Amino acid sequence: MSRLVLVLGDQLSPGLSALRDADPDSDIVVMAEVTEETDYVRHHPKKIALIFAAMRKFAARLRDDGWDVRYTQLDDTQNAGSIVGELVRRAEETGASEALVTEPGEWRLIDKLKHAPIKTRILPDDRFIASHQEFEAWVEGRKALRMEYFYREMRRKTGLLMEGSDPACGEWNFDHENRKPAPGEVDFSGPMQFTPDETVEEVLALVEARFGNHFGDLRPFWFATTEGEARRALSHFISKALPKFGDYQDAMLTENRFLYHAVISAYINIGLLDPLEVCERVAEAYAAGDVPINAAEGFIRQIIGWREYMRGIYFLKGPDYVQGNALGHARDLPELFWGGETQMRCLAKAVEQTAAEAYAHHIQRLMITGNFALLAGIDPHQVHEWYLAVYMDAFEWVEAPNTVGMSQFADGGVIASKPYVSSGAYINRMSDYCKGCAYSVSKKTGEGACPFNLLYWHFLDRHRDRFKDNARMGNMYRTWDRMDADRRETVIAEASAFLKRLESGEIV
């Protein structure tokens, strides 16, 4: 008897475990565009378009490879509206009695599939380098979890940038060489862009009609939607941008939204690129002498280190992880995150770019929008839902640990050993945002003082009990304590007034 093989919108990999386990001569692939997946947050229109276009092209590829693919488009009249509903409908249609499923990247969907009225066999998603069991074994017996040590294990496991049992160039981590401020000029024209073909245009018309009122611009749409295109985009990055990726990883520029970043996270996350293959390509470029070690190591660390680590934590901590609120933050997400007016130029530019591109690089997410949300005490669940909605690459297994854990410290320090907060000085050093801002980054208090300068101390002061004994924060508290009492009082009063204005919906 035939079986169904579910392929989700972020499982577009020919080597997917469910496909490997199935037989194209007798089993039937099910793919479906459904409102339950388009509506669990108000996804950016570009994200929906990428997923639908890539799904449609992947289905065509599977058909070419001999598979019987039952594909449901969003506006098909028979559409059951959910993944489980579609499996049930296809089972009735074909007489199949079981569905093979590669484990989804979200507890919500795993739970639904486990409780589906059709038998489901859930297989591991082995597109990742570490299995759940390997991650759990690594965690076993450790008091504190730190990405760096997990990363070293992944280097040993993959052999990437290894010279025997030693790391290439004698160091595991070149993070100290990844922090140059924004360069005057960027000699990279940005990620490779693709002209929409007929399939993409059809999807764009659908998304425009159905999701045109979501936050963000659908057009221009230039993303890769097949494995072949994604590979070309990767080659373009490796040859043109990677050599300088390491130096300027943390820099931000108003007029250059991508700097030397790869802009491939969405391609990896939906399955168009294989993470290990990506790293092997980078390691080859290093071995050939085309890229320096700080670039190759800095890049590979992000993928076999951070990306794998985030997934490990998401599955280790279980479905309640996203509800974390260790700092008790409860303020509503302000309208400025949805494009509402603000005089804070760094925030305005980061949000503007997010709306236009469905993309912001790591430091923009962490040290502009994330930093502000944390300092201002925004409810981390609302922050999480925002990040899940607005970025092209956002899937809960990777977005939640980055947001709830790394950015908002809402998991109480599982991921980050200290909160990622900064005053305006850091933003000014790493970007050009402060030039032309209505606020003055050098002003600490008084009319026009940069809000980051006020909120930074307000945050440290209100969470003193939690952080005062954190060895990595001692310097900050000593600096605060050395200020005279009047000054401290002024800072707290001005920060509180700012937060009141923010809460009342005034333009800040």
Q: Which residues bind ligand FAD (CB under 6 A)?
A: 261-265, 268-269, 299, 302-303, 306-307, 310, 361-362, 365-366, 370, 387, 391, 393-394, 398-399, 402-403, 406-407
Give the interface segment with ligand SF4, choosing from 18-26, 70-78, 184-192, 428-436 (CB under 6 A): 428-436
Site for ligand DLZ (CB under 6 A): which residue of 3, 4, 10, 393? Answer: 10
Size of the site for ligand SF4 (CB under 6 A): 14
- Is position 258 an interface residue for ligand SF4 (rule: CB under 6 A)? no
The contacts of residue 484 (CB under 8 Å, 6+ apart) are none
434 binds, among ligand SF4, ligand DLZ, ligand FAD, none (CB under 5 to 8 A by kind): ligand SF4
> Which is nearer to ligand SF4, 405 or 424 (by Cβ)?
424
> Which is nearer to ligand SF4, 271 or 334 (by Cβ)?
334
Give the interface segment with ligand DLZ, choosing from 43-51, 143-151, 212-220, 405-413 (CB under 6 A): 43-51
Start-end of H helices in 187-342: 198-211, 227-240, 242-245, 265-270, 275-287, 293-300, 308-317
Q: How far is CA 77 from CA 7, 9, 34, 74, 80, in A?
A: 21, 20, 12, 9, 9
Site for ligand DLZ (CB under 6 A): which residue of 3, 42, 43, 112? Answer: 43
- As a whole number of angstroms, the distance between CA 385 and CA 412 comes to 19
106 binds, among ligand SF4, ligand DLZ, ligand FAD, none (CB under 5 to 8 A by kind): ligand DLZ
- Is position 216 an interface residue for ligand DLZ (rule: CB under 6 A)? no
- Is position 434 an interface residue for ligand SF4 (rule: CB under 6 A)? yes
Task: State which of positions 320-379 bind ligand SF4 (CB under 6 A).
Answer: 344-346
259: left (phi over 0), alpha (psi -120 to 50) or beta: left
Half-sphere exposure of 484 toward its Cβ, with a 13 Å CA cutoff? 2
Query: With contact defined as beta carbons under 8 Å apart, do 126 and 249 qualify?
Result: no
- Is position 308 an interface residue for ligand DLZ (rule: CB under 6 A)? no
> Which is nearer to ligand DLZ, 43 or 244 (by Cβ)?
43
- Is position 109 an interface residue for ligand DLZ (rule: CB under 6 A)? yes
- As a whole number of angstroms, the distance between CA 431 and CA 250 comes to 9
Nearest CA to 322 out of 313, 333, 335 is that of: 313
The contacts of residue 328 (CB under 8 Å, 6+ apart) are none
Query: With contact defined as beta carbons under 8 Å apart, do 407 and 326 qualify?
Result: no
Query: With contact defined as beta carbons under 8 Å apart, do 9 and 270 qualify?
Result: yes
Q: Which residues bind ligand SF4 (CB under 6 A)?
A: 344-346, 424, 427-428, 433-434, 437, 439, 441, 450-452
